[in-house]
């Protein structure tokens, strides 16, 4: 054995020594007093006592102690028993009784440890049943089977069965009255240092003890004067036993039961109290039966009370441990309970009554009040939020829906805070709901930050795409400027002539106007693409989108000698999108396609741009080229960042395109064609007539709000104030061709 292990073992022994020594210090006097009490009242011939406290003491000691200490407890118990009983019984009798006592305690201890792993709490009916099985039936039966032979061997009792039942009753009664007290003592004794003494509980305990002392004195220790006294006195202690059971659990009930039992024994021994019969045997039996039948229901009440107390404790601990604000409301909306977080929030002095609700308040009334106050204050948005919350709570309480969830923004003096509110129906006959409020500002702020970064990135990508197009765009602007200049110079020269050709001049001026408009539109298109604007999701006409994108790419297609064709399925619905961003994606795909065909023969340099409806009713844009296609090993990863097929390229274009499409709730993927080249598909959600109508409605409801995608995602709404009649007119004009 290594030195370290030897050291460790020494430490363990030392650590166990103190509880063992303390245990012995308590055990020996208790065993001594218990044996003296056992001598006090017993069946004269059989020798079994009414109550035998050493059984409870030894069982509790064995259950709580280490097995290697068992022998010491057993020796101590045997020693004390022998010492106290030798004066009354022959040695062989005492030895056999020792054997019975020891076997009984060992059986009970082994069974209790097997069932509960240590001293049981007895705070549930199943636990109480197992306890009874082990310590009230099996162990006493074992003890009785051995102990009952004693009178027979010594030839004092006529019946083994009579002797057995006396032994059994004595042990069973001890287990039911005193054992829970001892088990509770050894359970709590080990951590007595950390126990908090509650002053109110102590006062209550003292009051109970005093009441018990008075009642027991009256009931058992005074002389009986009339017959009705008997009934009254027999049941006198019952209310106090229930009090102990309900308020102090199985341990408290056991203490009270022990006091009552001892008082009854003392009374019977003195010849006072209700238990007075002709023979001692009858007195003992009557006493045992009454105590047994009292102890069982009292322990049951203690177990049920303990279970309830445990459940309530767990419920409060659970509520207190929740960081979210939690309130439990009944079916009428009255607040039954709130947790600490909710209480702190309510105490923070919020202006809105909805945020100040406490236990006992009417939550629905507070919500209604909030709606009316906010309406009066003219806070349109907040008032709509409160109305939504009210509607949600009402719908859950009325059983219309099982849960309701919403996210809202609360403007405070310093900065906005975001909360989610969840109302979850309580699955119980009385109904009601749990309202949970959580501060999600951190998540929301992170979300907004990501959204901002995404916007920034997509803007940069857009600028990059335009950079790629710069040559083509210069061409696009030079054409009208060239035409204007030539026309103007021609006109100037024509005006020098004697006979000015009015018709020709008018035609020239008309062309100048047309070309000037075209140049302005090119610039407007550029501005729209370069603008670092808010994302505006609105229904975009599919035909226009395809046409405008092709126009934007026109010069590039020409420059690269790519022939482009397009097809838009008839009656295609509009897509729900940010026009500029989707154009950016499609333009990017077209430019990629052009680049892929740069090495191709002129007959293969063909691009086909189509828009068709998917089976689910969404719109699929497909851009098909006649290049070399994608390397098969890259095709799955094309849309990941830094994956590129180009010699010079960061590989960010398609990943940004995917990010934009994903933010629109769409999909983008690529595939190689059966023949030459590849096709990239991009699916965007179509706008149903219903969705458009809903957007209009929301638009009217919240005219000032300006939500972005993150808000759309978080709230599950598609509300976009941009879709106002004026917003719909304001088109980001790309470059139309005359």
Partner 1 sequence: MTLDSTNPARQIAVAIVDDETLVRVSLRRLCNAFGLSATAYGSGREFLDSLESDQPQPDCLLLDIQMPEMTGLELQRHLTSRGVRVPTIVVTADDAPEARARCMAAGAVDYLRKPIGADELLAAIERAVCDANRRQSLTPPRGEVETR
What residue ranges bind partner 1 (CB under 8 A)?
A: 471, 474-487, 489-491, 493-494, 504, 508, 511, 514-515, 555, 557-559, 561, 563, 738
Helix (H, G, I), strand (E, B) or coil at 567: strand
Which of 24, 481 has the CB closer to partner 1?
481
Q: Are 394 and 371 in contact (CB under 8 A)?
A: no
- Least distance in angstroms from the C-beta of 489 to partner 1: 4
Which of 518, 624 has the CB closer to partner 1?
518
Which of 256, 557 has the CB closer to partner 1?
557
3-state helix, strand, coil in the chain (%, to 5): 60, 10, 25
In terms of C-beta density within 10 A (0-12 exposed, 13-18 middle, 19 or more buried), how is residue 153 classed? exposed
Which of 483, 644 has the CB closer to partner 1?
483
Which of 206, 485 has the CB closer to partner 1?
485
- Least distance in angstroms from the C-beta of 693 to partner 1: 43
Which of 325, 605 has the CB closer to partner 1?
605
Which of 441, 483 has the CB closer to partner 1?
483
Which of 477, 643 has the CB closer to partner 1?
477
Tell me how far apart the alpha carbons of residues 319 and 331 are, in angstroms, rounded to a whole number: 20
Q: Where do the H-state alpha helices sit in 199-279? A: 199-216, 227-235, 238-270
Neighbours of 359 (CB within 10 A): 14
Tell me how far apart the alpha carbons of residues 387 and 381 are, in angstroms, rounded to a whole number: 10
Which of 348, 503 has the CB closer to partner 1?
503
User: Left (φ > 0), alpha (ψ -120 to 50) or beta: where does 530 sit?
Assistant: alpha
Tell me how far apart the alpha carbons of residues 355 and 88 are, in angstroms, rounded to a whole number: 77
Chain mean position to CA 545: 46
- Least distance in angstroms from the C-beta of 608 to partner 1: 15
- Least distance in angstroms from the C-beta of 479 to partner 1: 5
Residue indicated by tokens 């102690």: 65
- Least distance in angstroms from the C-beta of 547 to partner 1: 17
Q: Which of 239, 240, 249 is nearest to 307 (CA)?
A: 249
Identify the H or E element spanning 439: strand 433-439
Which of 330-334's residues contact partners 24+ apart within 8 Å by CB, and which partners? 330/430, 330/431, 330/432, 331/397, 331/430, 331/431, 331/432, 332/362, 332/364, 332/397, 333/362, 333/363, 333/364, 333/365, 333/393, 333/397, 334/360, 334/361, 334/362, 334/363
Which of 127, 551 has the CB closer to partner 1?
551
541 CB-near residues (< 8 Å, 6+ apart): 574
Tell me how far apart the alpha carbons of residues 56 and 53 are, in angstroms, rounded to a whole number: 5
- Least distance in angstroms from the C-beta of 448 to partner 1: 41
- Least distance in angstroms from the C-beta of 553 to partner 1: 13
- Least distance in angstroms from the C-beta of 540 to partner 1: 27
- Least distance in angstroms from the C-beta of 550 to partner 1: 13
Tell me how far apart the alpha carbons of residues 393 and 383 are, in angstroms, rounded to a whole number: 15
- Least distance in angstroms from the C-beta of 641 to partner 1: 30
Which of 255, 735 has the CB closer to partner 1?
735
Which of 29, 738 has the CB closer to partner 1?
738
- Least distance in angstroms from the C-beta of 602 to partner 1: 8
- Least distance in angstroms from the C-beta of 445 to partner 1: 46
- Least distance in angstroms from the C-beta of 733 to partner 1: 19
- Least distance in angstroms from the C-beta of 469 to partner 1: 13
Which of 105, 472 has the CB closer to partner 1?
472
Q: Are 167 and 147 in contact (CB under 8 A)?
A: yes
Q: Are strands 606-613 and 575-577 parallel, antiparallel or unpaired?
A: unpaired
Neighbours of 133 (CB within 10 A): 13
Q: How far is CA 232 from CA 241, 242, 272, 365, 543, in A?
A: 15, 16, 14, 53, 98
Angle between helices 91-116 and 160-177 (to 10 degrees): 50
- Least distance in angstroms from the C-beta of 502 to partner 1: 15
Tell me how far apart the alpha carbons of residues 680 and 139 are, in angstroms, rounded to a whole number: 81
Tell me how far apart the alpha carbons of residues 430 and 456 are, in angstroms, rounded to a whole number: 53
Tell me how far apart the alpha carbons of residues 574 and 626 are, in angstroms, rounded to a whole number: 29
Which of 423, 522 has the CB closer to partner 1?
522
DSSP 448-505: HHHHHHHHHHHHHHHHHHHHHHHHHHHHHHHHHHHHHHHHHHHHHHHHTSSS--HHHH
Which of 508, 611 has the CB closer to partner 1?
508
């Amino acid at each position: 054995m290594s030195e370290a292990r030897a050291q460790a073992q020494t430490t363990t022994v030392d650590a166990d020594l103190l509880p063992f020594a303390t245990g012995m210090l308590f055990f020996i006097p208790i065993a001594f007093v218990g044996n003296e009490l056992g001598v006090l009242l017993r069946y004269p011939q059989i020798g079994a006592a009414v109550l035998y406290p050493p059984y409870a003491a030894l069982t509790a000691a064995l259950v709580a102690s280490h097995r290697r200490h068992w022998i010491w407890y057993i020796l101590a118990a045997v020693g004390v028993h022998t010492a106290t009983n030798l004066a009354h019984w022959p040695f062989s009798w005492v030895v056999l009784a020792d054997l019975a006592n020891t076997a009984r305690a060992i059986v009970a201890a082994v069974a209790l440890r097997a069932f509960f792993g240590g001293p049981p709490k007895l705070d549930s009916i199943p636990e109480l049943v197992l306890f009874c099985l082990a310590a009230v039936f099996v162990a006493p039966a074992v003890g009785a089977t051995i102990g009952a032979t004693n009178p027979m061997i010594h030839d004092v009792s006529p019946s083994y069965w009579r002797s057995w039942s006396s032994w059994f009753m004595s042990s069973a009664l001890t287990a039911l009255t005193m054992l829970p007290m001892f088990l509770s003592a050894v359970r709590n004794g080990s951590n007595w240092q950390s126990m908090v003494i509650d002053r109110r509980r102590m006062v209550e305990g003292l009051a109970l003890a005093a009441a018990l002392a008075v009642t027991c004195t009256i009931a058992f220790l005074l002389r009986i004067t009339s017959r009705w006294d008997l009934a009254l006195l027999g049941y006198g202690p019952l209310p106090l036993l229930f009090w102990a059971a309900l308020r102090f659990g199985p341990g408290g009930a056991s203490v009270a039961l022990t006091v009552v039992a001892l008082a009854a024994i003392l009374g019977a021994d003195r010849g006072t109290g209700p238990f007075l019969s002709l023979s001692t045997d009858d007195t003992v039996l009557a006493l045992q039966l009454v105590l047994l039948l009292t102890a069982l229901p009292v322990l049951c009440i203690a177990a049920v009370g303990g279970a309830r107390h445990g459940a309530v404790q767990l419920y409060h601990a659970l509520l207190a441990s929740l960081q979210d604000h939690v309130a439990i409301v009944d079916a009428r909306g009255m607040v039954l309970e709130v947790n600490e977080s909710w209480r702190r929030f309510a105490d923070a002095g919020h202006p809105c009554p909805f945020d100040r609700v406490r236990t006992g308040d009417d939550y629905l009334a507070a919500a209604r009040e909030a709606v009316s106050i906010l309406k009066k204050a003219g806070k349109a948005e907040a008032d709509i939020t409160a109305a939504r919350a009210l509607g949600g709570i009402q719908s859950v309480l009325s059983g219309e829906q099982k849960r309701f969830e919403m996210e809202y923004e609360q403007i405070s003096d310093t900065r906005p805070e975001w909360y989610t509110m969840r109302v979850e129906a309580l699955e119980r006959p009385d109904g009601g709901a749990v309202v949970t409020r959580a501060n999600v500002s951190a998540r929301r702020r992170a979300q907004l930050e990501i959204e901002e970064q995404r916007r920034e990135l997509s803007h940069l990508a857009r600028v990059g795409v335009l950079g790629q197009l710069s040559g083509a765009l210069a061409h696009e602007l030079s054409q009208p400027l060239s035409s204007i200049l030539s026309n103007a110079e021609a006109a100037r020269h024509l005006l020098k002539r004697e006979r000015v050709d009015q018709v020709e001049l008018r035609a020239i001026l008309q062309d100048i106007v047309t070309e000037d408009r075209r140049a302005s539109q090119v610039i407007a298109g550029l501005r729209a693409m370069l603008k670092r604007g808010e994302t505006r999701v609105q229904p975009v006409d599919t035909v226009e989108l395809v046409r405008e994108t092709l126009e934007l790419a026109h010069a590039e297609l020409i420059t690269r000698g790519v022939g482009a064709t397009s097809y838009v399925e008839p009656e295609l619905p509009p897509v729900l999108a940010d026009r500029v961003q989707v154009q950016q994606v499609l333009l990017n795909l077209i430019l990629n396609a052009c680049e892929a065909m740069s090495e191709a023969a002129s007959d293969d340099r063909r691009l086909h741009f189509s828009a068709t409806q998917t089976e689910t009713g969404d719109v699929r844009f497909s851009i098909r080229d006649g290049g070399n296609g994608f390397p098969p090993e890259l095709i799955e990863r094309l849309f990941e960042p830094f994956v590129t097929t180009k010699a010079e390229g960061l590989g960010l274009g398609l990943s940004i395109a995917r990010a934009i499409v994903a933010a629109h709730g769409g999909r983008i993927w690529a595939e190689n064609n059966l023949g030459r080249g590849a096709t990239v598909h991009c699916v965007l959600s179509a706008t149903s007539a219903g969705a458009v109508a809903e957007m209009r409605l929301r638009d009217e409801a919240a005219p000032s709000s300006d939500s972005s995608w993150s808000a759309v995602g978080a709230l599950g709404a598609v509300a976009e104030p941009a879709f106002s009649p004026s917003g719909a007119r304001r088109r980001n004009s790309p470059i139309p061709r005359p």
